Amino acid sequence: MLRKGITESFGAAIHALSASQLTDGVINRSKRMMLDTLGVGLLGTRTAVFNKALKYSQLLTSEHRSSIWGRSEISLPPYYAAFVNGIAVHSMDFDDTWHPATHPSGAVLPALLALVETLPSRPSGLDLLLAFNVGIEVQGRLMRFSREAYNIPERFHPPSVVGVMGSAAASAKLLGLSPSQCRHALAIAASSAGAPLANAATQTKPLHIGNAARRGLEAALLAQIGLEGNPAILDMDSGLGVYYNDYSPSAMPVCASGDFRWILEDQDVAFKRIPAHLAMHWLVDAALEARAELQETAWTFDLSQIQRVTLRVPPSKYINCPLPTTEHQARHSFQFNACSALLDNRVTVASFDQARINRPALKELLSKVQVETPADNQPSFDKMYCEVQIETAQGQSCTARCNTFYGHWRKPLSQEDLVEKFSANASSVLCTEGVEGVIDVVENIEKVTEGSVLGSYLRMTSNTHEQMYLTRIL
C-alpha cells in the first residue's frame, strides 16, 4: 500500500482548514469540551503536583507572559504556562476522554491559551476555536492509525503519543504556519512523544498532559523559526509508527474550501463526573445501584453485614489496585471506587482526600472485594461494562450492571449538568465574576473579538481562596 504524502496531507490540512468549515455540531461539542477543561484545570490548581510544577517553572523569567489559571499574581513564559496549566487539567483525572482512548482537550487548550496571550496578531475567539478543533481532529486521526489504540492501553500512555501532536497542530494553526511548517511542527513534536504507561496512577501522570501541551507548542514555535524534521514523519514505521505495534496511517482529505467531516461530529467525548479513571464511572454507577437495591430489600442497611463484594470488570492491570495508598492510585483503582460508593453513597472530589483513603471502615470493606474479569468484558471504552455484586452475611445478594454511565458519549451530560460541574470546579478558585465570565466567553466564543479575554477571567481569583492558599504554603 502506497503511503506517500500522508504527512504532507496533514500539513496541508492544518494550514488550510478554515472557520467556515466548522459545523454547528462540532462547535457545540468543542465548546463543551473547552468549558469542562477549564473548570477541571481551575480545580486542579489546588493540587500538590500542580504546586510542585509551578515552583519549578518559576525558575524562569521572560518578557512574554501568559496566565496561570486560578492565579492573579503569577504569569509565566507561554511554554511553562502551557506546562503547568496542562498539569492542572489532568491532575485529578477529571478531564475529558475520547474514543479511541485519549484525553484530547488538556493537551491542546493550555497551549493555545498560553499562545493567544502573547501573539501580536491578537487572534479572535473564532481563531481560537478553530485551532482547538484542528488539535482535536489531528489527535483523533492519529489514534485511528492503529487497531491497538481502540483498547485500553498497555504500553504508551496515549495522551503522550497523540497529545503532543495535537498541541503542535493547534499551535501551528494559531500561528498561521505554512503547510510545510505545519508538517515540520508535527515532525518535531514526534520526537517529544511517548511516555510509558507505568507512570499512570502516579503523581507524574498529570505531567503527561502538561508535557504534551508545552512540547507541542514548542515544536510549532521551532517550526516557525525554520527548524525541520522528517517531512514524512507520519508515513514511516520509524516515524510515529514507533509508538504502535500495528501502524496503518492514512491521509487527511484535501479541505480547501468544501465540507469537512470532523471526527468530533461523529464521535463525541465523555465528560467525567468523578475525578478518576474513566472505567471507574461504570463501576460507581453499578455500585450505587446495587447499594440502592440492597437498601430497599433489607430492613436495615448495615455495611458491616456485607460479606463479599464482587466486581466484574474488563482486564486492565493499571486500574486494578486492591489497596491504594495515594490519591493517584485511588483514582486508578476499581476496588477503591466501588468501596467509596458503597460507604458514602457517592463518589466526589472529596473522596480522594488522604484522610478518606486512610479510613479504617474503607480498608475493611476493601478486604472483602474480589475482582473478576469475564471473558466477554472487553478493555475498550466503547464496549466495556461493570457489574457489582454485594453478598451479605444473611445470604442476600444484589447485583447491578452498568453498560453506559451518565457522561459517556452514548449518554452525554446535559448542558446544565456540564455547566454545573464547571461552576463547582471553578468556584474553588475564582470569584463569581470570573466563573460567569468564563461561561459567557466560551458560550459565545465564535463572536469574541479577542481570544485573550479568556485569560483575564481565569485570573479573577476569589480573595478568600487565594489568601487561604498562600497561608497554607507558608
Question: Of 134-142, 239-247, 270-278, 459-467, which segment contacts another protein by CB under 8 A?
Answer: 239-247
Decide whether 187 or 458 has the Cβ nearer to another protein: 187
Decide whether 38 or 174 has the Cβ nearer to another protein: 174
Decide whether 55 or 447 has the Cβ nearer to another protein: 55
Residue 97 C-beta: closest distance to another protein, Å = 18
Residues 184-213 that bind another protein (CB under 8 A): 187-188, 190-204, 207-208, 211
User: What are the DSSP calls for 219-283, one per residue?
Assistant: HHHHHHTT----TTTTT-TTTGGGG-SS----PPPP-SSS----HHHHSPPB--SSSS-THHHHH
Helix (H) or strand (E) holding 15: helix 6-16
Dihedral pair phi/psi, residue 91, rounded to 5°? -60, -25
Dist CA 195 CA 204 (whole Å): 10
Assess 4 for contact with another protein (CB under 8 A): no
357 with 327: CB under 8 angstroms? yes
Decide whether 33 or 306 has the Cβ nearer to another protein: 306
The residue written with cell numbers 482535536 in the block is: 136
Pairing mode of beta strands 306-312, 369-372: parallel
Residue 426 C-beta: closest distance to another protein, Å = 26
Distances (CA, A) of 398 to 256, 294, 300, 322, 421: 57, 6, 15, 22, 31
Which x/- pattern, by CB under 8 A, does the window 28-67 give for another protein? ---------------------x--xx-xx--xxxxxx---
Identity of residue 203: Q
Decide whether 95 or 235 has the Cβ nearer to another protein: 235
Interface residue with another protein, options 233, 280, 330, 441 (CB under 8 A): 233
435 with 426: CB under 8 angstroms? yes
Dist CA 342 CA 284 (whole Å): 9
Residues near another protein (CB under 8 A), total? 75
Interface residue with another protein, options 316, 340, 351, 452 (CB under 8 A): 316
Residue 250 C-beta: closest distance to another protein, Å = 18
Residue 69's CB is within 10 A of a number of other CB atoms, namely: 29
Closest by CA to 293, choosing from 396, 437, 439, 222, is 396
Assess 154 for contact with another protein (CB under 8 A): yes
Question: Of 34-42, 276-284, 373-381, 407-415, which segment contacts another protein by CB under 8 A?
Answer: 373-381
Assess 246 for contact with another protein (CB under 8 A): no
Interface residue with another protein, options 132, 145, 282, 318 (CB under 8 A): 318
Decide whether 84 or 131 has the Cβ nearer to another protein: 84
Assess 367 for contact with another protein (CB under 8 A): yes
Decide whether 84 or 129 has the Cβ nearer to another protein: 84
Q: Which three cell numbers stand for residue 172?
A: 501551528
Assess 227 for contact with another protein (CB under 8 A): yes
Residue 387 C-beta: closest distance to another protein, Å = 13
Dist CA 276 CA 340 (whole Å): 12
The residue written with cell numbers 504534551 in the block is: 212
Residue 110 C-beta: closest distance to another protein, Å = 16
